[in-house]
Amino acid sequence: MKRSFLSDPKRQIVLAMFLATFVAYVERVGFSISFTSLAQKAHLDESIKGSVLSAFYCGYGVSQIPGGWAAQLYGGRIMLILCFLAWSTVSIFTPTDPTNTVGIVFARVLVGLAQGFLIPAVHTVLALWIPPHEKARAVSFTTSGMYLGSAAAMSILPSLANAIGAQKLLAFDGAIGYAWLAFWLMVGRDAVGRKGGSLLPLSVRGGMGEKGSNGGGGIAESGVGMELSSNYNSNSTFKNSHNTVISSSSNSYSNSSNNNAVNSSTLPLGKMMTHPAIWAIVINNFSFHFGFYVVMNWMPTYFSKVIHSDLSSLGLAAKTLPYLTMFLMSNVGGWTGDWLILHHHYTVAAARKTVNTIGFITSGLMLMLMPAATGVFSGVMATTLTLGSLGFARGGFSVNHMDIAPRFAGVVMGVSNTAGTLSGVIGVAATGFILDSFGGASVVQGWYYAHALCACVGIMAMVLFNSFARGEKIFD
């Protein structure tokens, strides 16, 4: 009997991780829409609004590394449950009186702390479920949920806020978090996902020598284990540039997916934090978010002062096109990397470097074209191409930690994402300083220098990645 597309547990897991990032970003954009509406009615100062909106990142930046450690120790499944339970509950009970800034700031810090555990947990789950030749597309699809979630929120939530009220929109954000949690409990109910257990379903563990639900040591009758193993079997080989053959067996993959092996290992933090391949990933995450946060945070000012068109007056398609393009190109980057490995016999390292290089070079060129835009169309297209090419680059650096340290993917992602959060603070502030030094945002020359800084940061990070990134497992 033919199995449906989503009957494959791998696909269910990837879909669940995609929806996790989608829902989290709907919440982030939803709060901004809700609070902005409430603040305008209360006539709050811009500085107060800025403090409230930035409170999330204070918590988010602090919890990235602890989030990676917790996912490593307790398993990605349980950390996702606690993460969504925490931020959804806080979102529902966030004060709706905009003058209660202390209470709102406290709530946003808590939401940020909780969501800081999300990305490390997601990457921990994917590292244990997805075989190497499918990692790029799985990670790219999962992270693209951020951009599609942002686009969906910008498209739907303003009208929803007008219909139900800005206060109720906060409760709606929490409710969709609970909805995802219910879905995750259903999808992952057969995955123990805790210290001392296996993340894989019982039927798969039966094929790894453990006793399944039928009490035997073979693969369970459902055939799930056979389907997983067949995707990465002993006959799958990849040739590298030195004409050697990298062979992998289903047993080695399945055993690496055992959560007990992951959590019982001693974390080689010292070796990891001094290895150039790890820093190549961290620096590229920093440079990616440097450009991304600068473009997204300064886009309203760019359109107002350079294009002479208010962003709020643009049509829905123009406002959501950059997000939708990032969603598309993130997936294209992931699929391109896997395609190079499977069909052109690229090594894993060569595939990651190729995708990364194309993305950062193209984004650097597009960043320099943005200040030259003379109208709404050219401005929207330059912005869209910049963000789209950055999204493509994610198929390189943002997958590589799962290649070199699959057991410790959550920890590496926590460190990497901390650098990405820090870059947002530095990049956005540096852009403001550069624009002021040239006489303000209306002076185009300042934008050239600000965007040149973003482009240079990206190109230097790309060079470091090409020099030090590795494709084979380093930390086991």
Could you read off the pLDDT of 268-306 as tens digits, one per residue? Answer: 888 999 999 999 999 999 999 999 988 887 887 888 888
Which of 66, 179, 74 is closest to 125 using CA atoms?
74
Rounded-to-integer distance, Cα 301 and Cα 375, Å:
14
Non-local CB neighbours of 67 within 8 Å, separated by 6+ positions:
79, 116, 117, 118, 119, 120, 121, 410, 414
Joined tokens for residue 310:
């208010």
Q: Report residue 348's pLDDT band, with 50, 70 and 90 as the boundaries.
A: very high
Residue 396 DSSP SS3: coil
CATH superfamily of 1-199+257-264: MFS general substrate transporter like domains (1.20.1250.20)
Say how far residue 401 (Cα) sits from the centre of its chain: 13
User: What's the whole-number mean pLDDT along residues 67-82?
Assistant: 92
- As a whole-number percent, the residues of the chain with pLDDT over 90 amount to 50
Question: What pLDDT score was predicted for residue 8?
Answer: 75
Could you read off the pLDDT of 141-150 as tens digits, one per residue? Answer: 998 999 899 8
Q: Which residues pair with 434 in a beta bridge?
A: none
Question: What pLDDT score was predicted for residue 141?
Answer: 93
Rg for the chain, CA atoms, rounded: 23
Q: Report residue 51's pLDDT band, with 50, 70 and 90 as the boundaries.
A: confident
Q: Report residue 45's pLDDT band, with 50, 70 and 90 as the boundaries.
A: confident
Question: What pLDDT score was predicted for residue 235?
Answer: 35
| Domain range list for the chain | 1-199+257-264, 202-256, 266-476
**Both ends of the chain: CA-CA distance in Å?**
39
- Mean pLDDT, the chain, integer: 82
Question: What pLDDT score was predicted for residue 213?
Answer: 35
Which of 457, 116, 421 is closest to 289 using CA atoms?
421
Q: Which of 130-134, 225-229, 292-296 has the lowest mean pLDDT?
A: 225-229
Non-local CB neighbours of 46 within 8 Å, separated by 6+ positions:
none
Question: What pLDDT score was predicted for residue 470?
Answer: 96
> Which residue type occupies 288?
F
Asked, colleague to colleague, whether 1-199+257-264 and 266-476 share their fold, the answer is yes
Rounded-to-integer distance, Cα 430 and Cα 353, Å:
28
Look at the domain 266-476 and name its fold. Answer: Growth Hormone; Chain: A; (1.20.1250)
Q: Which of 169-178, 201-210, 462-471 has the lowest mean pLDDT?
A: 201-210
For 110-205, where are the E strands, in sequence order? none
Question: What pLDDT score was predicted for residue 311?
Answer: 63
